[in-house]
A and B are shown apart, each in its own frame.
Chain A
Amino acid sequence: MLKSKTGMEDGFLSSVGAGDSTMLEAPTKITALVVDDDTINQMFHHRLLDNLGIRNQVVRNGKEAIDVHCSGKNFDLILMDMEMPVMNGIEATRKLRAMGIRSMIAGVSTNTREREKFMEAGLDDYQEKPLTTSKLVSILHKVHKDG
């Protein structure tokens, strides 16, 4: 049974084959925002984060991501889909960076053709969908290192 740095036993990390080197900062300290228009991906990413003990919120598009930050909220990690109605992930990432948001933003998409443009908008990381536990853990390690 793996343990988080708080000493809490983490059966989930063990059950999904996370290695012994998977040590997260006290999970409840990390917060995340899921930005995705697809309800299945919303459910999936929300549950993935929940099971890792990461408090998270879900919004449906880039504009809602901007609005939630304008309301005063801040997150350690933002999982940003690329193609969304109203405001896409590229535009939302640019705006968040222009607002001075320094959270880790990881792009998550199936569209590999615009990956470079997405990265240039201000991403810290990019992962192809579907997001898996191991991909998410690799993202979270970067949050831990930069935090």
Chain B
Amino acid sequence: MVGTDLRQQLNNYIQSMRDQGILDNQFQSVQALKTEENPHFVLETVTGFCNDADNGIAQMTRYLEGPVVDFTNLTGLSHFLRGSSSSIGGIRMALACRDLRRASEANNKQGCIEGMARLKHEYNSLKEGLNNISQIERQMIGNAQRGRQ
């Protein structure tokens, strides 16, 4: 059945992200909050996270590339993104945020430049995976809605 195939495809894809260390168990907690009354919860969470991360990383880049590095705000934003990436299960991105925060707290510009590059790399991997998950989720929701009609 199509529904079972999609669910299996989703599970396999999430498992592959976990095998690569991109996602941890926390993503299951996000999935567990999806209900029949709120089938879009995973999609909404992923969309919200990516919007926040896109804006946050753009802002952090400006703080780092300014004439004077704004370590205070860089520290704050790296902590902020660490929290949200942890909550969605993006463990590697959360660790990158942690390391960037440490470099920023130490006013270590070179460390921040390296940390920022790593954060962007981890976020790109995570975002790509989450977008693929979202695509499957949309198909599943669409199928479920058509099944009810």
A: residues with CB less than 8 A from B are 12, 15-16, 37-41, 43-44, 47-48, 51, 81, 83, 85, 110-111, 129-133
Contacts and interface: CB of A to CB of B under 8 A. Distances in A.
A129 B33 contact: no
Contacts of B52: 38-40
Interface of B: 26, 29-30, 32-33, 35, 38, 41, 44-45, 48-49, 52, 76, 79-80, 82-84, 86-89
Contacts of B83: 38, 40-41, 81, 110, 129
Contact of A111 (B29, B30, B44, B79): B79
What does DSSP make chain B's interface, helix, strand, loop or mixed? helix
A15 B33 CA distance: 10
Contacts of B30: 44
25 contacts: A12-B32, A12-B35, A38-B83, A38-B84, A39-B52, A40-B49, A40-B84, A40-B88, A43-B48, A44-B29, A44-B45, A44-B87, A47-B33, A47-B38, A51-B33, A83-B76, A83-B79, A85-B76, A110-B83, A110-B86, A130-B26, A130-B29, A130-B89, A131-B87, A133-B29
